[in-house]
Amino acid sequence: MTLAGSPSTIRENNKAKPVTQSTFKVVIFGAGSIGCYLGGRLLSSGVNVVMVGRKTMQERLRSTPLTVTDYGGFRFHSQLADHQYVTSAEAAGNADLVLVTVKSAATSEAGRQLAPWVADGIPVVSLQNGISNAEHLQAGRPTEIDWINGEVVKLAEKLGTDAPINRKLVQLMHEREKIPKAWGARELLLALMIK
């Protein structure tokens, strides 16, 4: 059986290989650039992959095939079927493996979104930069902003001075933990009042 919406063969290192679908289901949560690359590589190997990401990426992939390449000559194209790129964590409901590729600031929110859907015993793997992302996913805990920027604020207070940018970053991150919000560079600079 070929993957839904994908070619029946791929070319890897100039060798045609059949693509067959596995019953093992991998959900990639946070399918932006990194997540789509991983998803494409897994799809090219015949793995049953569902990518979960933003609506804008979903719309783009409806009109443009997913293309994955690497420096060694690997190239894979796939016009994804509607069920292969979705916007809801509900897709993790019957996953055999969940790979998380969101940015670190969104890790706690990813954990909260995934928690109702991922069955006990299903591995959830963090493929992110950061030292505590796995713990945040598991517990749905807040970020380590208090231990990083918050400590700078406390140290400044002990020294009788202020650290206004760090204080504002702590405030903004706590707000972000309660209500998910994506910050653009300009918006963040304005919020921090940095010129």
Q: Kindly give the confidence (pLDDT) of every residue in the chain, 195 residues in length, as a single tens digit, with 9 standing for 90 and above.
A: 122 233 333 344 444 444 455 688 999 999 988 999 999 999 998 889 999 999 999 999 999 999 999 888 889 998 988 889 999 999 999 998 999 999 888 888 888 899 899 988 888 888 887 777 777 766 665 566 777 788 888 888 888 888 887 788 888 878 776 766 666 677 777 777 754
Which is nearest to 35 in space by CA: 47, 53, 8, 9?
53
Superfamily of domain 9-139: NAD(P)-binding Rossmann-like Domain (3.40.50.720)
As given in the structure block, the two tokens for residue 38 are 């991983």
Q: pTM for this structure? A: 0.61
Residue extents of the structural domains in the chain: 9-139, 149-192
- The amino acid occupying position 179 is I
Using alpha carbons, select from 44, 30, 171, 164 the residue that is nearest to residue 104. 30
The set of residues, in sequence order, having a beta carbon less than 8 Å from that of 117 and lying 6+ positions away, is: 89, 90, 91, 92, 93
Q: What is the pLDDT of residues 106-149, one digit of tens each?
A: 888 888 899 899 988 888 888 887 777 777 766 665 566 777 78
Per DSSP, the three-state class of 17 is strand
23-36 pLDDT, tens digit each = 889 999 999 889 99
